[in-house]
Every structure is written in structure tokens, then in C-alpha cells.
Amino acid sequence: MPATKISDSANIAILDSKITANMCAGVFTVDISPSVFLGAGAQNILGASVKITNISNGTTTKEYPSSGYDIVTPFTSVVSVNIPTIAGTYQYGKYSFTVQLTDAGGKIYEVTKNVSICAPDSKNKKYGTLSAQLNGSCKTGKLAVIADPVPVYNGVISDSQVNDFSLEYPTKSTLAVLDDISVTNFSVVLFEGVYAFSGTSCANYNLGDNVFAKVSYHYKREKDIRCALDEECISARLKQLVDQLDTDCSDKEKKETQDVIIKTLLLVKSIETTINAGFDASDYVAELETVLGCVCTCNCGEGAPVIPDTVGNDVVLQGCGIETEVNGLTTTYTINNYDYIVEVAENGGALTINTPVLTDCTKRQTITFDITKVYAQIKTQINTDTEYNFWASVVNKSWDGVLPECLGYTQAQWAALTFKQRSAALFASVCAGGVCNAVISGDITSNSGSSVNIGWVNKSGVYEVAIYIDDILTGTVLATASLGGFIAPGFADGSAHSYSLVAKCSNGSIGNTLTGDFTYFGCPTIAPPTVTSANITASCPYNLTALVGALPAGIAAEWHSQNNTNAQTLVANPSQATDGTYYVFAKNSNGCYSVGVAVVLVCATGNCTAPQNLIA
């Protein structure tokens, strides 16, 4: 199934997964890196979980976690699961990979992809077996090694492979094994004797839709390379055969001897011709020894190269020669050529890009910027409180440096005001006039659950006190008693905060200001309550409290009509509930809450009976 497009979330636009069946390492890997998040929406998503099922035999390879999630923000981690095996062989078949993402608020989205894995070789059930060509040229003094290409897998050609090959020289050469070879063809100095090529290759196959398979192949090939003929041995054996013609009794025996002589001369000529042409005559030499029944070659150089000191290096150029790898006589130059893809995320048509057009060896892509679309989007953006406040703060900067003493403010107090507050202070001062002698003192803070209590003493002339937290007006308290206080909900969050208490007179002018700082660690994490059912159809009024399971000591259940714990949404009598969606929270004695659990209640309207027979 392709990626899931999401239109009802403020955090994610596309949920996609990348699946890799890595049979080189023996693991399945799953991640959601191809997904498209909206802005900083990844910070709001609760997490993603992965389930893997072998559809072929109906077994579950990996279940969703019983608690928590496999992948959490910033969603860059990868889930790895061992591929199941039987007697050391992978359980091949069709697997289903489902990624379940839980959005903020508990809404769930899914994307499922299927991957079929099979044995790469009918003879080897776990990995494929390949070979190589070992071609010796006695004329040039080189051995060319050409590894077999990896085969097609599931109808797909491999787009890349990681190789680890080695080559053993003949024993008499005394050369060390040539290790860590990553290229599939190269050449080395030629010696007479047995060469042994071996190693592994991990081939990557792109199966489409962000699904990949990595398959392991093993290579093995040995070959005895022959170049120098022992002509004395061959001559002596031919003389024996010629003499034998005179001693053979029957025509059949004479014919058999003649056939051996003719075959010998033919093979000797074939060997000479093949060597002179620069090809490998080893197979002809082996056949000649079989025909004559003797060893007809020798290592005349006793471990020296077939052609010493005259063998030139081979050069293979791939790209522009940025990286080099030397294997024997072959130096491979490699440049990593990348495909560059330019994509534009959905932006309402403000920025578009066309398909590249090839003209006279030049690819040209046109990017179009539509300022009218951007202008419309800016106007939409400004129609939010956040943007209003931002532009107000920009204008507010223009008032910096104005002397505020005439309005009864110090520079620090003036700097803490927003543009709206500065404007109100200016107009109030113009309209009311006069000065203010309001005085407060004795400020003190404490916390209760997730809230912070701020207290002070109203000394004289106080009409009201404005409370600023982190330079933002948080509330205003009228001075009806000598002691003043304000509860700041949610500020016991473990972060450092500053506050200012500004005394005001009835004419709007400002008296003195008290400032301070606080840091409180408020509520612990509280497990949400469990409910027996999240969707209820029953007669109403219905008792919601009966749905809640047992709670730990000191924890109580509290019902709200919305997914928050504000006093305005508190359900006064949850035992007499009617139609609607309700949220239950776990609450401790300090006023700390868990996340809410949603319950949908549908009131039944009565029962209907079957039609009755009418008797006339």
C-alpha cells in the first residue's frame, strides 16, 4: 500500500515507511523517515509502533509494544527485528509491515506494506552462490579476474552492491593473499599455478514504494593456469607413440595410436596459437596432459612471473577519478555520481517547479514564485493572535528610548509592557492625569501542584495589581484586602520564570513594582485511568463513573466535557450523563492530572418489536 495522505491533522501530511529486508545482516528494518511533517508537528506526535506478520504461515514476527512506542520524536530512529530462521535458513514468504502512528489527541493513522522474500539460489537456501572468470594471458603476463554479476531478484536488477573479495596467488609465487577487494573485475601478475578467488557480495534491490531487499551472495572459483610447455617431455612421448605404431598388432590398435598422435599435435598447435593470441590456454594444456598421460608443463621460473618486469598496469576510469583502489595491476578510479532531485513541498502554489527540459545538452528547470499567493497567505497568517502580538511587538520596539517617567513608570517597568499596554497607559494618563502613590510589599511565591501562588501585601493607595510573568501580562487582581494573591496555573513546569507585580491607582497610574524569580517542579507523570469501554450505547442518564477501573491510592477520576481540566468543562454529575463525548482524567491530591481518556456516550431511544399480525 502506498503512503497514507492525511488531511485532518495539524502535525503530519503524509505517513510513509521505509522497509528493508536485509538478508546480508539477517534483519528487517523499519523507519518513517519518508513521512512529511507539518512545520514542528513532529514534536506534537505521541509516537509510532511497528507490527510485522508473516502472511505465508500466519505467524507474528513482531507485535506492537504493550506500552510506549517503537519510534518517538524526532522520528529518526530505526526499528530492527531479526528475520526468523528455521534450521539456520530464513523463513521465506510474504511479510506484512504495518506502522501505526498516534497523533496528538490520540488519533491513529496507519500505513501497511508487503514484502516477499525468497531464496536467491535453489541450491543454497540462505544465500546465492556465484563464480568468476579467471583468464590468464601468457602473452601479456596478466591474469584477469571477472566476478559474475549478481542476478535479478524478484524481477528487479540490483542498483548497487558491497563486495568483499580476495585472491590467492599460486603457492610458489610467495605473494600474500590480495584482500579487501571491492571491484568486480581487475588483473594481477600471472604465475603458473592455482589461483583461488573467493568472497561475498551484498546486493541492494529497490523493489519500489520505499521497499528494499539486500541479498547476500558467496563467490568461489579456482583455476590452474598453465603457460610453459615441456617440449622435451612432449617430444619423448610422441616418439613413443610413433614407435608404438610398428608394434601395434591390429588395425584397431594402430588407429587408436594414430588418433592420440593427431590429437596431441592438434592440441600443441592450439596451445601455441591461443597463447600467441593472448588468451588462456590452460584448458588445452590440461586436455593435452590427459591425452598423453603425463605432465607436459613446467614452472621454469620457480615462482617468478611468466613475463617478468614487462607487465603494465591496467587502468579503469569510472567517472572523473576521485577515489582510487589498487588491486594487483588494476587501479580503479571512482567518482560517486548522484541523482539530484529538486522537490517543492506543498505551499499553496506560492512556489512551483517544472519538469527539467533537455536542450542542447543542457537541462533547465524553471522555479516560479507567485507573490500573490504569498501575500494571501500572509494575510491569513496575520489573522491569528500569535501574529497580531508579533507585529505589535515590532511596533512596540519603536517606542524604546521614550522617557516614561511622566507616566509614572521606570525604564524597567516600561520595557515590560506590551504595545497595547503602553498605549493604554498613555491614554489613561492623558484622560485621568495625576500621580499614583500605590505601594505593595512582601512578595512571596509557592507552588500547589502545577500552579504557582504569588502573594503580596497591599500597603497603601492600591486599587489593583497587575501580574506579569516572563514580561507577559498574566492577570490583574483588585485590592479588596490588605493581602493580595494570584494563582498562575501551569507555571510549576520546572523552568525558570520571572515575575513583576505592578501596583496601580484608580486613575490608571502606576505606583511601585516588585520583581522576582521562581522555579518549581510541579506535577509528576500520572498514568491515565483505564475504562472498560470507550464507546457506550445505553439508556440515559448514564453513570460514567462505572466505566473507570481501580485507581491507585491517592488518585481520583475527574470527568470533563472537553479534553482539558479547566473548571468550566468539569462535569458536575458524571453519574447522570447524557449524549456526548467525555474525557476522564486521573488526579492526585496536589491537583496534578494525567492525559485524558475519551469516552463516547450514545443514549438509546428505546426498543422496537417485530410487526404483529393484524386480525380483522
pLDDT at 302: 46
* Residues paired with 593 in a beta bridge: 587
pLDDT along the chain (616 residues), means of 10: 83 91 93 88 89 92 91 89 89 92 90 91 76 85 89 90 92 85 88 89 92 93 79 73 78 79 79 74 77 64 53 56 70 68 76 80 82 80 68 72 68 77 73 75 86 90 92 90 87 89 87 92 85 92 92 92 89 92 90 89 70 56
CB 12 within 8 A of CB 109: yes
Kindly report, residue by residue over 364-379, the tens digit of the pLDDT.
Answer: 888 888 888 888 777 7
In this prediction the pTM is 0.50
Task: Report the side by side order of strands in the sheet with 510-518.
Answer: 472-478, 464-469, 497-504, 510-518
Which residue reads 579487501 in cell numbers? 180
* C-alpha–C-alpha distance, residues 405 and 411, integer Å: 8
User: Strand order in 108-117's β-sheet?
Assistant: 59-62, 47-54, 93-102, 108-117
CB-based contact 83:28 (threshold 8 Å): yes
- Helix then strand then coil, % of the chain, to nearest 5: 20, 40, 40
How far apart, in whole angstroms, are the C-alpha atoms of residue 199 and residue 187?
16
Q: CB–CB of 191/173 below 8 Å?
A: yes
Strand partners, 247: none
**Cα 336 from chain centroid?**
23
Whole-angstrom Cα distance, residue 229 to residue 459? Answer: 119
Q: According to the model, what pLDDT value does residue 40 have?
A: 80
pLDDT tens-digit series, residues 102-131: 998 889 999 999 999 988 877 766 778 899
The rounded distance, in Å, linking the Cα atoms of 326 and 216 is 24
| Residue 244 Cα to chain centre, angstroms | 79
173 Cβ partners below 8 Å, 6+ apart?
191, 193, 303, 305
